[in-house]
Structure 1
């Protein structure tokens, strides 16, 4: 037998968590046929001597629902070994939708996830109303990675209730519940992974109103989960508002306790597993200890629920290329009104630099305590005191704003600065990461694109939590990035190197694996900008048996599939 492709002599980390072993991986068509000794001939051979051979990684929390309509490669996830993406997170999806409501959903995604509505409206054909029809449209798009998705609460509720869905005290009528359940039934029959909801107050419309579903009562959530559960498949993804509804000051967080119970009850009354986002925050330093303890109590009473965590500081990056958190100085507003190349020229002018330094002292102090130097040479996500702006300024006997301007000039505009929105303290993050059954996710690829780029979560997990911190073995880290997510979300025949499974595979040069400095590019439709980030060390990434990344560069092959369950 002649195989289509054989990856020879690599160290196979198969995704099960078992110790790695030397083996060949043979592929025919889209499937793995052998993991072991493949002595037969092959049309194509990859020499993986000294390299890791792993399943393709699965990113279980993204917002790339619209991006594939204009970016078939699925950047930047494709550069980090990701071969399968989950769409429709946080209650936000593009279906169901009435023809009159296209801009409503575009504005929701813009305000919640920072993707310009103009980019969305200029690129989507909107040739759908139901989720199944959206899935068909997504299926027809060329893709470099595999995608699957959930139907979102915001779209489902707005489709059933219109603007009434935005009112905090407006509960759906029985008929409106039936309409939402019918939409979920249609989505599940079309192959959706499940349903997602958002209950965080940070997810708002462009008018500043929390998105539909934020204040849904337990009976509504249970009714929608039961619509999933009766299909005997599917999950309920939940973005909670831990700590947001409390009456401060408090150290007991009773509203968070209620939210954990609500999560558990939705599962117990529907049979639908719940996966919830688990963030930490320096303002509530004990909350993760409490909610994990309460989760233990609910699990002991039969609840099937798991946390998902972003395993690093959630990092907002600012610089000359995108924006700076300086809103009270006209010189800065004028600078950012210019196209980026002209900003580079402007800061070379002495008069302009003097004007940029003229900001209120309280703003100067705030910047010094808020911002950390990021790059421009090394990609370092751990916040270190020597990189805090006020410390750099003090060391150089200058004001923080002078440090910013000086570093912009010295680096030709390449110097970046960063601040955290959550997960400030890595000890708190580690507490959640160590919790049994925590999923590594929340890279938020495709979201907040002018501020963050956490889509490199897979590369970060390997280089930081495994290599630098040695918190997990290599095998356990790979398991968490592959089969763990596939099993939790019910994604079939992915996440393992196993005969019969789809040939989504990485060949990794672990000794040289690293993240590159994020880059701000203006490649969104209508010229909008976003952060993207490449990596080094991914010698090969295969999707459905074909090489899509070779030596860290995309081959242009668009062999990804829409996965229906």
Structure 2
């Protein structure tokens, strides 16, 4: 008797092969038969009218703190993810000496917009070394499996002390050796890889650049050599190469990536996105990646399926009026969101904030767009439209109404009791459509990533990237560009899993882990995010519910049914590479 039988589904097996109708049987945590399968089972799921796919593998999340207090791990788990990699972008909570706990919290609060109060209350800190951290995670259970990178910023501070937080400081040869030694120990203990950040966008809560920003060859290649020594792990990084208009800087960063791949002998992936300042930079980066791969270097771009967009609201972190002293005072002093919203509804407060906003002028950058980019502000629809036209913008609405756009935005944000959400695409939307995103997603050496699940709690809500990937691109964007479903599923399953060394999942075939999604594709869609207060210390985050997932199964156990958690937690810590048993 099988433990689980999934019948009458359309099998999309994760390899990119054509879909077919069939059944799937599970015994224990493994798939044992696919195709013309019959026989009794302890539990049967009828997948009539649904696609049956492997569980999604998200290689770019930031659950490093949330894993201390939460075993559900939404939003990733509710969007079909059954395996996730965290510790990306060089940030995390191990290794950590006791005197660096607050510093690490401030760093994660600034870089990844995770409320510091939630981290301070929720983190257990029953570790110091990275192997200790893995042991702490290994004692817990989750809805999905997790792997963790050794984060460069935490490692640097552990070895260099306060100097490690200053990107202008250079480690001594002895400190480089120590970082390499600790990285090797982490790989042997089961670390997924090593991650680092080289972007000015990553700053602590106090506005200081991340300490790894300008790390030089001796430090980075010394650590990379530790991966070659162990023969384990991958390298993940973010660099400003994709956003610069400076050809020489971009070329230097890409040459560094080449040296990391050469020195480590391991797989390397890095962020590639599109900015307004360099809308075609991704194309030249892709050409360089092609050249690296032609030279035998396993280098990939991590790409996103839609714009990286800020969610503007009076009830969350960001809106055009955060530059107003009156707004900042109210936001910091209000005991609750409701109290904040009541204050903002006062006509005199509105007048004061609008007057202060009118006197603020940022010349360039994200703050200029967020404060006055009215043509890129859109009301969130249900389902969410991630390719809105400028004619739908707040600027266009205000123009049609003949009113000041700032006042119009203020009043729009006060709708729905002050909980109205506006969507502002900041990255991957330089030309006002998703045509270039399609080009990025269909490149030769790409990985689907950058969801940042667990991070950007009050500003960005992209843990739903897997759902967008399947729902949007299997149907096509507004220009009619699409990608076959089989290729999309392969990208979020076998391809991602193989990159990080999880060879036991991502394929629906006998012997593979029984991680599954059963999806009603015609119903697959995303509702607007909701503002919820379910983090420790009453912390606020944005949470987005998908529609269309009938079941998610992890290791043979249904974890979600009709979008609801079943209460079961078969997920575990993954140590290092995984092979088909």
Question: Which of the five TM-score ranges fits, normalised by the shorter chain?
Answer: over 0.9
2:579 aligns with: none
Answer yes or no: is the 8 Å Cα contact 1:31–1:545 preserved in 2.
Answer: yes
| Residues 243/15 of structure 1: CA separation in 2 closer, same or farther (3 Å cut) | closer
Instruction: Write out per-residue CA displacement over residues 487-520 of structure 1, whole angstroms, 9 at most, x where no aligned residue.
Output: 0111131111111111110000001010111011
- 1:303 has 2:297 as partner: yes
> Secondary structure of 1:542's partner?
strand
| Residues 261/149 of structure 1: CA separation in 2 closer, same or farther (3 Å cut) | same
> Secondary structure of 1:523's partner?
strand
TM-score by length of 2: 0.91
Deviation for aligned residue 1:174 = 2.4
1:401 aligns with: 406
> Secondary structure of 2:227's partner?
helix
Answer yes or no: is the 8 Å Cα contact 1:368–1:388 preserved in 2.
Answer: no
Answer yes or no: is the 8 Å Cα contact 1:367–1:389 preserved in 2.
Answer: no
Looking at structure 2, the residues matched to 334 and 217 of structure 1 have their Cα atoms a distance apart, in angstroms, of 41
| Residues 354/121 of structure 1: CA separation in 2 closer, same or farther (3 Å cut) | closer
Deviation for aligned residue 1:404 = 2.6
> Secondary structure of 2:418's partner?
coil
TM-score by length of 1: 0.94
Looking at structure 2, the residues matched to 334 and 268 of structure 1 have their Cα atoms a distance apart, in angstroms, of 51
Answer yes or no: is the 8 Å Cα contact 2:228–2:263 preserved in 1.
Answer: no
1:268 aligns with: 262
Deviation for aligned residue 1:314 = 0.5
Instruction: Write out per-residue CA displacement over residues 47-103 of structure 1, whole angstroms, 9 at most, x where no aligned residue.
Output: 111110000001110011111212210011111111111011001121112222222
1:99 aligns with: 98
> Secondary structure of 2:240's partner?
coil
Answer yes or no: is the 8 Å Cα contact 1:261–1:298 preserved in 2.
Answer: no
2:365 aligns with: none
Deviation for aligned residue 1:301 = 2.8
Deviation for aligned residue 1:343 = 4.5
2:161 aligns with: 162
Deviation for aligned residue 1:120 = 1.4
2:506 aligns with: 495
1:171-186 residue pairs with structure 2 within 5 A? 171-186=170-185
Unaligned runs of 5+ in 2: 362-367, 577-581
- 1:518 has 2:523 as partner: no
Looking at structure 2, the residues matched to 291 and 203 of structure 1 have their Cα atoms a distance apart, in angstroms, of 21
Answer yes or no: is the 8 Å Cα contact 2:242–2:273 preserved in 1.
Answer: no
- 1:421 has 2:418 as partner: no
Deviation for aligned residue 1:352 = 5.2
Looking at structure 1, the residues matched to 249 and 171 of structure 2 have their Cα atoms a distance apart, in angstroms, of 23
> Secondary structure of 1:398's partner?
coil
Deviation for aligned residue 1:197 = 0.8
> Secondary structure of 2:551's partner?
strand
1:31 aligns with: 30
1:228-377 residue pairs with structure 2 within 5 A? 228-242=227-241, 253-322=247-316, 323-329=318-324, 331-333=326-328, 336=331, 337-338=333-334, 339-346=336-343, 353=350, 357-361=354-358, 367=372, 369=374, 371-377=376-382
Deviation for aligned residue 1:327 = 3.6
When the two chains are superposed, the root-mean-square deviation of aligned CA atoms in Å is 2.1
Deviation for aligned residue 1:19 = 0.3
Looking at structure 2, the residues matched to 271 and 40 of structure 1 have their Cα atoms a distance apart, in angstroms, of 47
Instruction: Write out per-residue CA displacement over residues 406-448 of structure 1, whole angstroms, 9 at most, x where no aligned residue.
Output: 4345533342112233222333333322211211110011111
> Secondary structure of 1:435's partner?
coil
Deviation for aligned residue 1:539 = 0.2
- 1:557 has 2:552 as partner: no
Which of 545, 559, 567 is the aligned partner of 1:548?
559
Answer yes or no: is the 8 Å Cα contact 1:191–1:564 preserved in 2.
Answer: yes
1:533 aligns with: 544
Deviation for aligned residue 1:295 = 2.3
Looking at structure 2, the residues matched to 520 and 318 of structure 1 have their Cα atoms a distance apart, in angstroms, of 11
Higher mean C-alpha displacement, 211-220 vs 363-372: 363-372
Looking at structure 2, the residues matched to 524 and 348 of structure 1 have their Cα atoms a distance apart, in angstroms, of 26
Higher mean C-alpha displacement, 497-506 vs 324-333: 324-333
Looking at structure 2, the residues matched to 494 and 58 of structure 1 have their Cα atoms a distance apart, in angstroms, of 9
Instruction: Write out per-residue CA displacement over residues 188-237 of structure 1, whole angstroms, 9 at most, x where no aligned residue.
Output: 11111110111111112334332232211123212211211222231111
Which of 464, 488, 491 is the aligned partner of 1:456?
464
1:508 aligns with: 519
Unaligned runs of 5+ in 1: none
Looking at structure 2, the residues matched to 403 and 167 of structure 1 have their Cα atoms a distance apart, in angstroms, of 42
Deviation for aligned residue 1:383 = 3.2
What is the aligned residue count? Answer: 559
Higher mean C-alpha displacement, 115-124 vs 10-19: 115-124
1:59 aligns with: 58
Which of 432, 443, 447 is the aligned partner of 1:435?
443
Looking at structure 2, the residues matched to 401 and 315 of structure 1 have their Cα atoms a distance apart, in angstroms, of 20
2:490 aligns with: 479
Deviation for aligned residue 1:368 = 5.4
Looking at structure 1, the residues matched to 165 and 314 of structure 2 have their Cα atoms a distance apart, in angstroms, of 37
